[in-house]
Amino acid sequence: MDVSFGGRLRGLTFLETGRKLLTPEDMAKKRSSGKGADEPEELVRNDEQEQELALLANSTDPHIIEIQRKITSVFDLFDQSNKRAVDVREVGSIVRALDLYPTEAEVEEIIRNVEESSGKGIVKLERFMPYVTKIILDDNLYKPIPYDRLRKAFKLIDKDRKGILDPAKIRDIFMREGEPFVQEEIDEMMNFCVNKQTGKIHWQEYLPKLCKYEAPADGPE
């Protein structure tokens, strides 16, 4: 599996530099008040957007054609029926395989725009391709967290400043902050990050790999 947690990490609220980590008591208060993670606004498929997507679908621009070739190639890997259609539950995996880093809320936004109007949980390539092409052409959408910001967040957790974290602590934080990781996701991350010899997370070593970053030339602090 291609390991990348960039989008999921973007959904963790403590990565807002300087924000305190939520305690279980804080989370209970949020649930009781009915205030969770910010929900994206409902999108309407207006005529202007439909015209733009139609133009992209029929574009003869070599750059756009190459983008769409890549989208099709990745989409086909998830198309088990060979009908140029996938289950909506595959959308997040497909988009992230295209080196985009949406949060779970942003994946839901994409789904609302590409799911078949029949409501049967199906996404067809003919609609998915132009919509995701539009996303890729926008250099500001679904980019990974800046390396320095992510490093500051992990330094906030590493109170001893030793560059070593307890996996149990990371599990606890990542499974209750913002868009919490589910068990399968956190298990995959632990398998990737935990040093087999020490049983700890040497986060300065693994942070660039975790998000497909290139560490700054001067290396981690």
DSSP one-letter string for 98-165: TT----HHHHHHHHHHHB-TT-SSEEEHHHHHHHHHHHHH-TTSSPPPPHHHHHHHHHHH-TT-SS-B
Asked if residues 178 and 138 have their Cβ atoms less than 8 Å apart, the reply is no
Same-domain status, 132 and 164: no
What domain range includes position 90? 47-137
- Assess if residue 36 is contained within a domain: no
Whole-angstrom distance, CA of residue 76 vs CA of residue 98: 13
Q: Look at residues 108, 137, 166 and tell me which one is the last residue of a structural domain.
A: 137
pLDDT at position 14, please?
Answer: 56
How many residues comprise the chain? Answer: 221
Low-confidence ranges of the chain (pLDDT < 70): 1-45, 119, 210-221
Same-domain status, 117 and 149: no
pLDDT digits (tens, 9 = 90+) for 57-94: 999 999 999 999 999 999 999 999 999 999 999 999 99
- Assess if residue 179 is contained within a domain: yes
How many structural domains are present in the chain?
Answer: 2
Whole-angstrom distance, CA of residue 221 vs CA of residue 215: 10
**Radius of gyration over alpha carbons of the chain, in Å?**
19
pTM listed for this prediction: 0.67
Quick one: angle between helices 183-193 and 203-210, nearest 10? Answer: 120
Whole-angstrom distance, CA of residue 197 vs CA of residue 48: 57
Residue type at 41?
A: E
Contacts of 206 (CB under 8 A, 6+ apart): 192, 193
Same-domain status, 99 and 74: yes
Asked if residues 133 and 141 have their Cβ atoms less than 8 Å apart, the reply is no
Residue type at 47?
A: D
pLDDT at position 42, please?
Answer: 44
Same-domain status, 71 and 151: no
Give first-to-last CA distance, the chain, whole Å.
Answer: 29
pLDDT at position 91, please?
Answer: 95
Q: Look at residues 107, 122, 137 and tell me which one is the last residue of a structural domain.
A: 137
Whole-angstrom distance, CA of residue 183 vs CA of residue 162: 27
Tokens found for residue 94: 């497909």
pLDDT at position 88, please?
Answer: 94
Whole-angstrom distance, CA of residue 12 vs CA of residue 176: 9
- Assess if residue 199 is contained within a domain: yes
- Assess if residue 154 is contained within a domain: yes
Query: What's the CATH code of the domain at 190?
Result: 1.10.238.10
Q: Look at residues 137, 172, 192 and tell me which one is the last residue of a structural domain.
A: 137
